[in-house]
Amino acid sequence: MEYGLIGEHLPHSFSPEIHKRIGDYKYEIKELRPEELEDFIKSRDFKGINVTIPYKQAVIPFLDEIDEAAKAIGAVNTIVNRNGKLFGYNTDFGGLRALFEHAGISVFGKKAVILGNGGTSHTAKAVLKALGAQTVLKTDIIPGEGVITNEEAVLRHSDAQILINTTPCGMFPKLSGMAANPADFPHLEGAIDVVYNPLKTDFVQRAQSLGVPSEGGLYMLVMQAILAAEHFFEKPVPKEKAESIFSEILRMKTNIVLIGMPASGKTTAGKILSEELKMPLFDSDELIIEKTGREISDIFEKKGEPAFRKIESEAVLELSGKTGVIIATGGGAILNPENMRNLSKNGRIYFIDRPVEKLVPTSDRPTASTAEAIKKRYEERYPLYKKYADIIIDADCSPAEVCRKIKEDFRK
């Protein structure tokens, strides 16, 4: 390969889409096992590569020259082959610094805690120091020189104002988990997660629920890619490209999630949107039928609603890990807060609010088989639909008009 990304596990990396928008060059993904790394680097059969977990430090002994900034950080994420000599750089520094600016988080004079002690944590420490942080602490499972445990961070440093996650906790495909809970730091003024897939990790969602300015790692990924391309081709990339590429990738990777009562038109709207926006459509009820081999009404009848809701949550979790798709949910998906947290990680949630008198009961909907049942469910669930929706769509209109309203918001 000429240009690309190496790492151990690279499922659904966003890097090729980003580099495609930076310039006219082919950018590939190559997964390497640890025992394959040395031979690959020594072969020098590439022009420029990015390096990710867990090789940012492991590649250093095989390089001919290392940029002073990368030396100071102790990690390399960009390697350029110039006439057979390998030069190492760290563009994560510039990417992370740009992310702080993009998130509007000031660290000057503040206490910061970095979660994790790998290569990216060294970059985070360098960035925090460069931005004027007064105190910088790092955590890990096992304490060591200059490293404390997460428990000690909570017990002795809960006054930290800045929290940065540099661990893979919450990263696709394992969408759940946090290295530390932002709620344990009551003086928090900013939270950054370098993880970009999902777009909003549990860590970011929790910080945002507390009203703390926070952001995931997508903007950092875009900026470090731009800086890497500048090293690849030894010419500057216009910085205004960063915001446009970020906005385009964010929109491209964001799911459209449709919630609402049974018979509100979620599936119909989903099909129209899928055709018009060229986005794949997934229906959680259809996935349940596919997985179980049973109709929804049969599951309710034979196993009961609690068993169905458990199956539904498993289906929702699977769909939540996808990016750039349309997800039509069952009417009761909003009953489980975990479902909504998962759907929000990569999704923008639209409540299709169809008037209750226009919701038609059908025998194949166990909780909406009569007009009375629909009205009862509507009254119970309406506050939850409003609570979890990013946008409420007035659906007292045609399906085409419903879709027009969704597209108008989604394309902003």
- Residues designated as active site: 56
Q: Whole-angstrom Cα distance, residue 257 to residue 328?
A: 6
Q: What is the C-alpha to C-alpha distance for residues 103 and 101, in angstroms, rounded to an integer?
A: 5
Residue 284 φ/ψ, nearest 5 degrees? -65, -35
DSSP code at position 330: P
Q: Find, among 83, 33, 82, 81, the residue nearest to 58 by Cα.
A: 33
**Residue 250 identity (one-letter amino acid):** L
Q: What share of the chain is helix, strand, coil (3-state, %, to 5)?
A: 45, 15, 35
**Assigned token pair, 52:** 């990710």
51, 79 in Cβ contact below 8 A?
yes
- CA 191, 193, 199, 201 torsion: positive or negative? negative
| Centroid of chain to Cα 160 | 24
Phi, psi angles (nearest 5°) of residue 80 = -120, 130
**Lookup result for tokens 């445990």:** 149
Alpha helix positions (H), 305-348: 305-320, 337-346
